[in-house]
Amino acid sequence: MTEQESAKAVVKTIRLLECLSKENELGVTDIAKSTGMNKSTVYRFLNSLKELGYVRQNPRSERYSLTLKLFELGSIVLDRMELWKEAHPIIEKLADQTHETVHLAVLDEGKLVYLGKIESTQALRISMMSRVGQSAPTYCTGVGKILLAHLPRDRLDESLNREGLHRFTDNTITDRAQLQKELEGVRQNGFAIDNEEHEVGVKCVAAPVRNNGGQVVAALSISIPSVRFTNSEIPITNNL
């Protein structure tokens, strides 16, 4: 499929979902008339959406309707917007107090994603690869270690198996047993350290962000140039 064909398929999918959102149930003929697509195309797209869990088919009437999956996705986005709204003043205060770079990150389908970033105002500051909306490794970043440390064991193993432990610097932990020991230290200490494990010259201290129920929903970090944060200032952790 060409890039242009892929773009057209996306447009058709959105048009079909919008059509279904206007009625409780619709048949293939009704959808085809409303969207201007032919019935075979509508049927093919509906089957794909049904397999993905976005559409259900009434076994009696054979008509189609939306499931709650789009609502679930929207709720996730809303939660993140609320998280950023609540966390932003705190992040700004922390950045003002430290004059260092501050990050807020979450896990999205097992991947680390930055929700927010405030750059350091110091003359000597780090030029990091991190960007809002961008992903980063979990096992060698402060925020990533926090989020991994509070995952159930099966989800932790799944995440590490998917990522693999690739070396970014001489300090990157690439041994699974050593990382497990490091994460146990994170759980016990309540914070995580990135000792130039992802980027040379960058050290980070991270802490968990919890919801009202006590569950870790995000992680907050301060990133500092290594010249301003020596090993003697880093609390003892399992990987140092």
- Considering only residues 81 and 48, tell me which one the structure prediction assigns the higher pLDDT: 48
Map out the domains of the chain with their CATH numbers: 3-67 (1.10.10.10), 75-233 (3.30.450.40)
Whether residue 232 has pLDDT greater than 60: no
pLDDT at position 71, please?
75
pLDDT at position 204, please?
92
Q: Do 115 and 106 form a contact (C-beta atoms < 8 A)?
A: yes
| Positive or negative torsion for Cα 158, 207, 223, 181 | negative
Q: Which amino acid is at 116?
A: G
Neighbour tally for 132: CB within 10 Å:
13
pLDDT at position 194, please?
94
- Considering only residues 138 and 131, tell me which one the structure prediction assigns the higher pLDDT: 138
> Which residue from 205, 207, 227 is spatially nearest to 218, judged by alpha carbons?
207
Query: Residue 240: which pLDDT band, with cuts at 50, 70 and 90?
Result: very low
**pTM of the complete model:** 0.65
pLDDT at position 65, please?
94
Lowest mean pLDDT among 50-59, 82-91, 157-166, 224-233: 224-233
pLDDT at position 176, please?
94
| Positive or negative torsion for Cα 24, 29, 35, 38 | positive
